Structure formats: C-alpha cells, structure tokens
A and B are shown apart, each in its own frame.
Chain A
C-alpha cells in the first residue's frame, strides 16, 4: 500500500530530524545509558502495547509524559524516542483499517502535545492538559479521520482506564525524578491496564471490524482493478479494429487513384512513415541474388532480411535500441523497417494487417497496370478495340454483383458464366470441392484463390488474358471473404446449438410427455375404439404445435447474447454436463471423479455446460488407448473466483501446439473429425461471463483445463 510506505517514510524523516535536532541544539542527554534506556523503553512499550490498543489509543502518550519528567533528557530527545518507537511500530505491525498515516497522526500529535506541555507547564499544572490530549484528542482525531470505524463510541470505563494510564505515566515521571530506573516499576500496571482495557468483547468486535473493513476495501480495489482491465482490453480491441479499418481505407483510396505499382508502393510507404514517426522504412527490391540493399546495412539485418525472404515470412527483432522488422512482398521484394523504439504487440498486429492488405492491393494494381499495357499495345497495332472495351466493361460490372453474393457456388458460377460469355470459350472452375464445367482439352489454367480456373486460351489476346486475370483476382477475393464468413457463421451456430440444448430439453418435456402418452393411448384404442384413437392423435398434434411455439420462442431468445443468465450452483451445471456424456464414458471405461466445493455463479447455464461438455469430450478423445483412463472435475473456491479444473491422465497437449489450442479452427484431429472451434468458443463464452479458460499441464503428464468464473455472493 502506498499510504503505508508514505507513513513509514514520514516516521523515519521525523525521527532522523528530531535526533539530529537534539544533537545539534547541544541539548544532549546527560548520559548515553539514560538515552538508550529512554529509547528502548519507548520502543518496547509501544510494540508490546499497540496490538492491544489497536491504533485508537497510544501508549506513547503516557510514556512521553513520563520521560519529560526526567530533567536529564532534552525535549527533542524525548520526541525522537517517541518518533522512533512509532516509526518502528508502523514498519513492523500492520496498520489499522484507517490507514498507517492516520494511525501515525493519531499517535504522534497528542504525544507531542503532552511532551511539550509537560516541559513548559510543569508536571502539576499540565495534568488537565494531559488528560485532554491523551484521552480525548486521539478519539476525536480518529472520529474525524475515519468516521466509518465507530472507534469513538467506547464504554465509559474505557475512558477511565485510559485516564488511569495517563496517571500512571505521571507516577512514572515522579518516580523518575528519584531515580530513572524506578520508572520501570510502573510497567506491570501499565501493561495490565492496557490488556484489561482492550480484552473481551470489545477487542473481538474491533478485530472483526478491522478485518471486515479491510476486506471491503480490498474488494473495492479489486473491482476497480478488474473494471480497469476490462476497459483496457476493450479499448485495445477497439484500437486494433480501428487500425484495421484505417489501413483498409487508406489502401482502398490508393488503389482507386490509378497509380502504377511502384507509385502505389511509394504512397503506402509514405503512409507507413506517418504511422511510425522516426522510423526508417525502405523498400528493398529483388535482385538476381535475392534482396538488394541500396544503402549499407548491418550484417544481422541483412541476414534477417534474407531469411525473411527465403521463408516468405515476416522477420522481427526487438532490441534495446529499437525494433527491426522486414516484411516480404511476394514477387516484389521486402519492406525493411527500423524503428527507434520497441514495437508493441498491438503495433505489430497492425503492421501485419497493413502488409496483408498491401499485398492484396499491389496485386490488384499490377493486374490493372498490365491490362492497360496490353490494351495500349493493341491500340498501337491499330486493332479495333471498341468491342473488347465494351465487353471488358460488362465484365467488370460483374464485380459489384460478386460483392453481393454469399454462396461460394454462386460466385463460382458467376465467374465462369461471365468469363465464358466474354471470351466465347469454354471455361471450367474448381474450388474447395465445388466443380463447375469440365476443363476443355489443351486448356490454360489460372489460379483462383487456392482453386483453379481453366479456359481454352489459345488465340486469346494479351489484353483479354490480363482482363481475365483481373476478373479472377476479384472473384478470388469474393471467395475468400465467403470462407471467412462461413467460418464465423458456423461458429456462432455451434455456440447457439449448445446454448439451446439445455433450455429446450426441459421446456419440451411437457408436450413430449403428452405426445408419448397420446401415442400409447392411440395404439391401445386403435382396434376397439378408432374414433378415440383419432382424438388422441389430434391431441398429439396439438402438443406438437405447442413444441413448435416453444422452439421458435427459444430461437428468438438465444439470439440475444447475455440473456438467460441466472444464479445457478456450479455443482448442478457440472452434474448436468456429466450426465450428458456419462453414457459414452461408461462405454469406454473412463472413470469420472467429481470433487470439491460448490458455489453460486451468475451464468447462462447452457453455455457453461457447453464448455464443460467440450472439455470432457476432448478429454475422452485424448484418453483413447490410455490404461486406467480417468478424468477429475475438481471445483476449488478461491474468492472471488470459482475454479473448475478438468484434469485427465492422458498424454497432455504437446508443447509445440500449446500456444495455439485456443485459436479458432485449430485442431489436432483428422480432417473432417473436428472443426477446431471448441476451445476458442469455450474461451469466448467464459470471457463473456467475466471469467477465463486456461490450459496448464497436469502433474503426471495429463492435461488440465482451468475454468475460472466469478463467484456470485447473493
């Protein structure tokens, strides 16, 4: 706590100042033994008595009165002893919930007043003042500084006891005038009184008060921290999205300007320099033997750039003096970036996005350029271009249509139709399992976003080929967009199915019961009373209608995320999830062990169940072939979190994929066996609930997934 360290520093400064002051003023203690006695006694009394007084009454006060009675000691030295004792106390013992600073003030101020009064007024005349300063002042100060602590409301006898303590201090002072060692005779009654004054119910009450105040404060701090973190995360996400949108916009405008490839690249680099002030951005063109630098660069950078080019992957190095990075632009060269500061992870991500779009844009510009060139050549040969140009226009109009399509098959169809119509030749396309047309013999193949487009290209004009390439590039973009969307749609669909399953199952039970009964009754009545059987079937019909209504209602319901959260016990969720997989676990002889505590959580039970089932099914697959397969589900309460650990004794997750298991579409299963969305959706669900999903290797080599959810008190 910052406040505590401030208090400690303050106490230390005051001590040093007072000790230095007492030496400097020449007001030294008469003998070193006496000085040490005063110091040690102050410290011992303070440390011994404070846990009993707990910050509301300081024994320093009464001892200050006692010490000022000694003529052999100067006032600054007495104060220095006091300050030392208090500083040491605040360093060793925990502060009261009012905070260490408040404690120090409450203790120090009355003590100083008492000491000064004793020295200036004399012991006899100072008595009423001691009483006021030592007994009432700390209480007033506490009440003023910590109004919530209720410390001021004590029983009357407590005041009496505190007054008695001050009187004992006076006694000690009188005894001290006879001989300083006699002062110690007052210690047993002082300590006894302190203990008596602060034992029993009141002490317990205060202790309870302390802990509750402290925990309340911790909770508030924790909540603030959490809120801060969530906000920060959201802001970060927003910034990333913004950067993405900015980049996209920038490059779109560049490509619409009709620039040449080189010009477009220059413009993009200019924009990049604006984004990264002080950075050195350079395009490294491709020479016959790899990248060619126009200016000399460090050997490490050269090696890095070459490796980036060889692997066609970005190269990044963070050094103390800044970051060095190189991004390859396929077929063109590399962009070298030297930044004087370290790049943040966020900025790296933005750069990644920037270069991805830059590549896409440059491709587009290049095709446009070569199309224009081809057209120019034809114009120079004085061929009739009007027909080609009108057809080209018609073709490119299709680009708008492409953007509005969402089905890959439709896009592919449009691509083929347009190309065939325009060139008047037979075309075929194949992409991701969809095949349209048959490739004509002797055809020329063009790449189409991972697929292939074939056309009988013989005798095609150069301009036509270029136009075709441009068209295919546009179609490829549309196909890629489609794939990305399909992934999103699929994942949200899967999530929704899980959400629905639990809710619908219960809701549907009543009409399902009706149908099952109606069926039975209709069957029994079929022979002897066909009319009744028909009536029963009619009832079943009604129930089916009822089910339909429920299902449509639930569908509407699940569309709003965040709805449907309620207070449920985690044990219930776990039990429900286990029940759903129990059958298959029994079949494979996997032992399921549930253990731990239970707590209430505010969640969408269906979603959390989905997460658990996901983890259990993953576990089951991982345990294939393991002898004595076993899965533990252990709930641990670690306020304010509830942790559910799903632990298996399988082989665990291999080290090389640990970082990727939560990525969307990552899967270790065979193609077609899993989509690879389970863990990423699970993590999303938990994050949406304000929780976490993490992986850690289990002791003994298995996998352990930890679900963390905030516990709900009420």
Chain B
C-alpha cells in the first residue's frame, strides 16, 4: 500500500493534500480533473484514492471512484467534500468507499484517515482473532468466514453512514437496535462448534435486509419516531457519545464489529480480560 492518487480540482488544496500525504512516506500522484484521474487509473494500479466530490467534467469524484473500483475492486477510497449534498453520501455508500471527510479538515485528520485505511486489513484480522478468542471459537470454517465478511461489510456501511452524517440520530439509533438483535443470533451461531448452512444462510439474508434498510433510510431521510428504550438496548446518551466518537474517527470501522460484540457478551466475560475491558471503556464509557 504505497501508491496514492489525489483527485481535487482546487489547486491549493490539491497541493497541500499531496504534501500532507507525501510526508507520510507514500508515493503520491495528483490529478486535477476527473478525466485525468481516469487516465492515470488506467495506466497504473493505485492502492488508495483520495477524491473530492464536486468537480466540473464528464463525471464527478464519485463517478471516478466507481470506475476505478470496477477495475480494481480492492481499491481503497477516501472521499472529501465541502458540501452538504444529500445524494453524495448515498452514492458513497453504494460504491462502498472507506471513509468520508467533511471539509475543512486538518492535516492530522487526513493522515489519520489514510493510516486507518492502510491498517484496516491487518486490523480486521487482528479483531477477528480477538473475537474468536472472546467467543471461544474453534478453527474458522468457510461458512463462518462468509458470515464474518457480510457482517463486516454491513458495519462498514454503518460506519460510513455515520461519518457522512447521512442519517438522523434517531434513525441511526433504530438501525443500531436492529443490529444488536442480529448480533444475538450471530453470537449464537458463532458459538456453536459446527455452523449449519441453513442458519448461516438465514443470517446472511437478514444482513442483506438490514443493509437494504440502511440505504433506504438514507435515501428517504424520513424522521422516525423516537424508539422506546429498554434495559437491554443501548441508552440514548451513550449511543450519542458513541456516534460522536465514530464521527471523530476515534472508533474505526473495524472496531465497530468488536464494539457490538462487547456490548452483547456478558460483562463478567469481558472483565476477565483487561484488554477487552479497556477497548470497551474506550468505545462505550
């Protein structure tokens, strides 16, 4: 992960972005228009694209990302934008970009975002290990890996949705409640030594439904009536703090998957391990 493409039509900002990312020892190429970026993307395979959304030309930044992702599905993307455009976060969700930054941001923010994206793969495997330790799982099998992938993809879209502020707080809370219910089933399945294909399939379907709901809510932007809180659900203030942490990028997309597990496992189990307790405190306290 060394080659970064920066696409930004504002001259000063582009120059600065290149400078900032270069200072992190990356090899950076700059493009000032969508056309240029598409040409560059054809010539060379990049690991990460940082792109503005609004720009003149045949397509905007998200269009470029979509085209590049079709060529290289593993390409990581960070979107930066200064406009509260309603459709942009939706499209970003569909394209599955990795991060969404609102201007103005500081050098620190963009460097962190790049770093997070770079580490995400290694982090993901680390978190999976932590999870399997927590759950006491035996060697991972095919069905479980598939479930884990789907689950992580869902949580990544939730992360992006929160980062791009596409949902109202109440909607995000409702989605989270639904996710916690799914998590109960996931934990049940993941704890059994042999996963039945039937149960895995059912859960996969429910994951698909959940992510359809997420994008639908983002599209409709309708108000949801405040949901009733009960003891097993996360309380409003805590969740607001949590969302704030995600918005500030103190909790990454990978950590989301741990966050939900840590909330659903019995506290005694969590408290046995000081590392887990520390993670829980950082995310939820």
Give the distance to chain A from B216, nearest Cβ to Cβ, in Å. 14
Could you tell me which residues of chain A, from 592 to 630, have a CB within 8 Å of some CB in chain B? 593-598
Contact A515 B84 (CB under 8 A): no
Determine whether the beta carbon of B106 is less than 8 Å from that of A512.
Answer: no
Question: Is A510 engaged at the interface, CB distance under 8 Å to the other chain?
Answer: yes
User: In residues 524-558 of chain A, which contact B (Cβ within 8 Å)?
Assistant: 524, 536, 539-540, 542-543, 546
Among the stretches B123-131, B136-144, B184-192, B220-228, the one at the interface with A is B220-228
How close is A280's CB to chain B, nearest CB, in angstroms?
62
* Per-position binary interface string of chain A over residues 510-522, scored 1 when its CB falls under 8 Å from any chain B CB and 0 otherwise: 1111111110110
- Give the CA-CA distance A511 to B10 in the complex, in Å: 8
Q: Is B266 among interface residues, defined by CB-CB distance under 8 A?
A: no
Most buried by A among B86, B104, B221: B104
Contact of A635 among B13, B223, B226 (CB under 8 A): B223
- CB contacts under 8 Å to A, within B216-270, are 220-223, 225-226
The interface-forming segment of B14-22, B37-45, B65-73, B202-210 is B14-22
Whether A509 lies near B223 (C-beta < 8 A) is no
8 Å CB interface, A109-151 against B: none
Distance between Cα atoms of A520 and B13 in the complex (Å): 13
Given known A510-B82, A517-B13, A539-B12, contact A571–B20 (CB-CB < 8 A)? no
User: Is A516's CB under 8 angstroms from B170's CB?
Assistant: no
In Å, the complex CA distance between A635 and B20 comes to 45
| B224 to chain A: closest residue by CB | A595
A543 in contact with B12 (CB, 8 Å): yes
Contact A521–B103 (Cβ < 8 Å)? no
Q: How large, as a class, is the contact surface on chain B? A: 20 to 34
Closest chain B residue to A579, Cβ basis? B165
Known: A506-B83, A593-B226. A514 touches B221 (CB 8 A): no
Q: Does B26 contact A (CB under 8 A)?
A: no
Knowing A513-B82, A517-B20, A594-B168, the reply to whether A571 touches B222 (Cβ < 8 A) is yes
Docked pose: A596 CA to B222 CA in angstroms: 8
Checking B19, B104, B108, B226 against A513 with a beta-carbon cut-off of 8 angstroms, the contacting residue is B104
Complex Cα gap A514–B19 (Å): 12
Q: In the complex, how many angstroms separate the beta carbon of A518 from the nearest chain B beta carbon?
A: 6
What mask results when residues 95 to 112 of chain B are scored 1 for a CB within 8 Å of chain A, else 0? 000000011111110100
How far is the CB of A630 from the nearest CB of chain B, in Å?
A: 11
Identify which of residues 547-605 in chain A touch chain B, using a CB-to-CB cut-off of 8 Å: 569, 571-572, 575-576, 593-598
**B221, A509: Cβ atoms closer than 8 Å:** no
Question: Contact mask B75-119 → A, CB, 8 Å, 1/0?
Answer: 000001011101000000000000000111111101000000000
Q: How far is the CA of A521 from the CA of B12 in the complex (A)?
A: 13
In the complex, what residue of chain A is closest to B19 when comparing beta carbons?
A521
| B199 → A minimal CB distance (Å) | 38
Residue of B nearest to A568 (CB): B86
CA distance A412 to B201 in the complex (A): 86
Report which of B12, B80, B86, B106 forms a contact with A520, defined as CB distance below 8 A: B106
Contact mask A641-661 → B, CB, 8 Å, 1/0?
000000000000000000000
Determine the chain A residues whose CB is within 8 A of the CB of B52 once the complex forms: 510
CB-nearest residue of chain B to A542 = B12
**CB of B107, distance to nearest CB on chain A (Å):** 4
Are A518 and B16 within 8 A (Cβ)?
A: yes
The reply to whether B104 and A597 contact each other, CB–CB distance below 8 Å, is no
- Which one, A515, A521, A596, contacts B20 given CB within 8 A? A521
Contact across chains for A539 and B15 when beta carbons are under 8 A apart? yes
A637 to B8, CA, bound (A): 41
B23 at the interface (CB under 8 A from A): yes
Q: Within the assembled complex, what's the spacing in Å between the Cα atoms of A524 and B226?
A: 46
Is there contact, CB below 8 Å, between A598 and B17? no
What residues of A have a CB within 8 angstroms of the CB of B19 in the complex? 521, 536
- Checking B107, B108, B223 against A594 with a beta-carbon cut-off of 8 angstroms, the contacting residue is B223
Give a binary string over A389-410; 1 marks a CB under 8 Å from any B CB, 0 the rest: 0000000000000000000000
Q: Nearest CB to that of A594 among chain B residues?
A: B223
For A509, the chain B residues whose CB sits under 8 A away are 82-83, 102-104
CB neighbours of A516 from chain B (8 A): 104-106
Q: In chain B, what residue has the closest Cβ to A572?
A: B86
**Is there contact, CB below 8 Å, between A569 and B10?**
no
Bound together, the chains give a CA A204 to CA B102 distance in angstroms of 52
CB-CB < 8 A to B23: which residues of A? 521, 524
CB neighbors of A among B147-169 (8 A): 168
- Of A512, A520, A542, A598, the residue contacting B103 (CB under 8 A) is A512
Contact assessment for A575 and B168 in the assembled complex, using a CB-CB cutoff below 8 Å? yes
Measured in the bound complex, the distance between the Cα atoms of B9 and A477 in whole Å is 57
Report the Cα distance A542→B11, complex, angstroms: 10
Which residues of chain B come closer than 8 Å to A507, judged between CB atoms?
82
Minimum Cβ distance to chain A for residue B270 (Å): 30
- Known contacts: A516-B104, A594-B170. The answer to whether A510 contacts B13 by CB under 8 A is yes
- Give bound CA distance, A597 to B224, whole Å: 9
Name the residue in A509, A576, A635 with the highest tally of chain B Cβ atoms < 10 Å from its Cβ. A509
Q: Given the interface contacts A506-B82, A509-B83, A539-B16, does A514 sit within 8 Å of B223 by beta carbon?
A: no
Interchain CB contact under 8 A, B222 and A598:
yes
B102 to chain A, nearest CB (A): 7
**B-chain residues with CB within 8 Å of residue A518 when the two chains form the complex:** 12, 16
* B221 x A512 contact (CB < 8 A): no
In the complex, A509 Cα to B23 Cα: how many Å?
23
Q: Determine the chain A residues whose CB is within 8 A of the CB of B82 once the complex forms.
A: 506-507, 509-510, 513
A507 to B10, CA, bound (A): 13
Question: Within 8 Å CB of B225, what residues of A?
Answer: 595
Q: Nearest-CB distance from B67 to chain A (Å)?
A: 23
CA distance A576 to B103 in the complex (A): 16
CA distance A517 to B18 in the complex (A): 11
A543-B14 Cα distance, complex, nearest whole Å? 12
Contact with B along A406-423 (1 / 0, CB 8 A): 000000000000000000
**Taking each of A511, A513, A542, A572, which has the highest tally of chain B beta carbons within 10 Å of its own beta carbon?**
A513
- Distance, CA A263 to CA B106, complexed state (A): 78
Contact of B10 among A510, A571, A597 (CB under 8 A): A510
List the B side residues contacting A575 at CB < 8 Å: 168
> In this complex, which of B15, B52, B83, B170 has the most chain A Cβ atoms within 10 angstroms of its Cβ?
B15
Say whether A597 contacts B13, CB under 8 Å. Answer: no
A514 touches B102 (CB 8 A): no
Determine how close the nearest CB of chain A comes to the CB of B266; give it in whole angstroms.
32
* Contact present for A569 and B223 (CB under 8 Å): no
The residue of chain B having its C-beta at the shortest distance from the C-beta of A582 within the complex is B169
CB distance from B109 to the nearest CB of A (A): 9
Q: Which of A506, A514, A515, A520 has a CB less than 8 Å from the CB of B108?
A: A520
Bound: A366/B21 CA distance, A? 82
Tell me, in angstroms, the Cα distance from A515 to B107 when the chains sit together. Answer: 10
Contacts of B104 in A (CB 8 A): 509-510, 512-516
A593-B226, A595-B225 known; A506 vs B16 contact (CB < 8 Å): no
Additional 6 contacts, C-beta under 8 A, given A507-B82, A518-B12, A569-B86: A506-B82, A509-B104, A516-B105, A517-B110, A536-B19, A569-B221
Selected A-B contacts with CB under 8 Å, 18 pairs: A510-B82, A511-B13, A513-B13, A513-B80, A513-B104, A514-B10, A514-B16, A514-B104, A515-B104, A517-B106, A517-B107, A521-B16, A546-B12, A571-B221, A572-B221, A575-B168, A597-B223, A598-B222
Shortest Cβ-Cβ A-B pairs, 6 listed: A509-B82, A513-B104, A513-B103, A520-B107, A512-B104, A509-B103
